[in-house]
Amino acid sequence: GSSTAYSRYSGISSSPVRFGSKASTSTRADPIIVPHSTSAIGVKRKLESSFRAPVNKVPKSLGITTMMRLGQAITATETSQEIVEVSRFNINDMVWSPPVSVHFTIEKEKFAEGGFRAAYKATSKSPNFEGKTYIVKRFLPKTVELIGAVNETQEDHARKSIQMQALANNFAEQVAAKVEKDGNKNVFGKPFRYVDAFLGKVQRTNQIVTIEQFASGTFQKYVNNDGTISHNKDIEKQRKAESLVHFSFVKSNRKLLLVDIQGGEYNLTDPEIATVSGIYDNDDHLLFCAGNLSTEAYLNFFNAHKCNAFCNLLGLVPEEVENDA
């Protein structure tokens, strides 16, 4: 539906990239440590058990894509072990937490790439991070150049992207709170939420990254960062996404617009904030991030958006678009 393409979990849609317009080691199993008292038979049994085929009570149903994939050589996934200093942003207190060291196993092959960042899957066994899949995002070389062109550091830009996601989640939480307060929870249905996101600094390289929980489920795009509407086939989620954008505009006193609405099922990720009146503050610092398309996003969205039942449940009414904004 939209001309703005997107690579999943890349962090930015592949709209034109512009500011103000928006040594390899294979993973090996740990060695088997055998006490001197262990018999040769015991060692043999342990080795055999590590190579024993898994027992499945119910055969796995395979799609044709998976079947064809089995006709190719599948190699072991290469990973790197990294210690990352991770910080979380607290929107309630408007402060960053002190960094904590977290050990991540990060895949070396890119999971996705977009206009500004490359994404890599990762896991961790560190406390509070174990048992989940994460996406580690790294700035592309061209992005580093663009960030420098507006006199920002990579760390500042990454911090703003995390703060922006916190604001996006606040808008989503306010939607959920309003429909519950008004007694419309059952009518509205499940609301959107944004996955947790963190700032990271890799100890070994000092590279700045962002880290977020993997948004599982079928990935969908509802509204692009330039405000154009994707017209997704999932009508209910599409309309809820548009109502979220509209809601953000009203709740911000018509100063901001939450765009780039995308994610897996009801778990959203990688938002952008468009500032309706200009993209720089009084000190000529870029507001929010490089995907801030400002007036363009405002005009594109409200010239196409038609208020729907979810807008009505949120008390929203059609906006009078100022095309000379």
- Cα separation, 28 vs 255, in Å, equals 52
Answer whether residue 21 is part of any domain.
Answer: no
Answer whether residue 19 is part of any domain.
Answer: no
- Cα separation, 83 vs 228, in Å, equals 39
Same domain (yes/no): 172, 281: no
Strand segments (E) across 178-240? 193-194, 197-202, 208-213, 219-223
Q: What is the pLDDT of residue 15?
A: 43
Q: How many domains in the chain?
A: 2
**Over the stretch 40-66, which tens digit does the pLDDT of each residue have?**
555 445 444 444 555 556 787 888 888
> Which CATH number goes with the domain that contains 148?
3.30.200.20
- Cα separation, 105 vs 209, in Å, equals 14
130: domain range? 77-214
**Sequence letter at residue 214:** F
Same domain (yes/no): 168, 286: no
The last residue of one of the domains, among 173, 194, 214, is 214
Percent of the chain at pLDDT above 90? Answer: 59
Q: Residues 166, 88: contact at Cβ < 8 Å?
A: no
Q: Residues 195, 269: contact at Cβ < 8 Å?
A: yes
Same domain (yes/no): 232, 136: no
Same domain (yes/no): 164, 249: no
Q: What is the pLDDT of residue 322?
A: 77
Same domain (yes/no): 189, 261: no
Same domain (yes/no): 142, 224: no
Same domain (yes/no): 204, 101: yes
Same domain (yes/no): 183, 308: no
Q: How far out from the chain centre does Cα 64 lie?
A: 29
Answer whether residue 308 is part of any domain.
Answer: yes
Answer whether residue 240 is part of any domain.
Answer: yes
The last residue of one of the domains, among 168, 195, 214, is 214
Answer whether residue 53 is part of any domain.
Answer: no
**Over the stretch 120-146, which tens digit does the pLDDT of each residue have?**
999 999 999 999 999 999 999 988 998
Q: pLDDT-derived band of residue 102, with 50, 70 and 90 as boundaries?
A: very high
Answer whether residue 175 is part of any domain.
Answer: yes
Same domain (yes/no): 118, 129: yes
**DSSP-H helix ranges across 51-153:** 64-69, 141-149
Answer whether residue 6 is part of any domain.
Answer: no
Alpha-carbon Rg for the chain in angstroms: 23
The last residue of one of the domains, among 186, 214, 242, is 214
Q: What is the pLDDT of residue 325?
A: 57
Q: Using DSSP bridges, classify how beta strands 267-268 and 193-194 pair: parallel, antiparallel or unpaired.
A: parallel
**Over the stretch 166-201, which tens digit does the pLDDT of each residue have?**
999 999 999 999 999 999 999 999 999 999 999 999
**In the predicted model, what is the mean pLDDT of the chain?**
84
> Which CATH number goes with the domain that contains 285?
3.20.200.10
Q: Residues 286, 246: contact at Cβ < 8 Å?
A: no
Q: Write the CA distances from 233 to 129, 190, 192, 229, 238, integer angstroms.
A: 34, 18, 17, 12, 8
The residue assigned the tokens 């190699």 is: 75
Q: What is the pLDDT of residue 14?
A: 42
Same domain (yes/no): 86, 164: yes
Answer whether residue 184 is part of any domain.
Answer: yes
Same domain (yes/no): 104, 203: yes
Q: Write the CA distances from 230 to 21, 61, 237, 309, integer angstroms.
A: 19, 32, 11, 18
Same domain (yes/no): 96, 184: yes
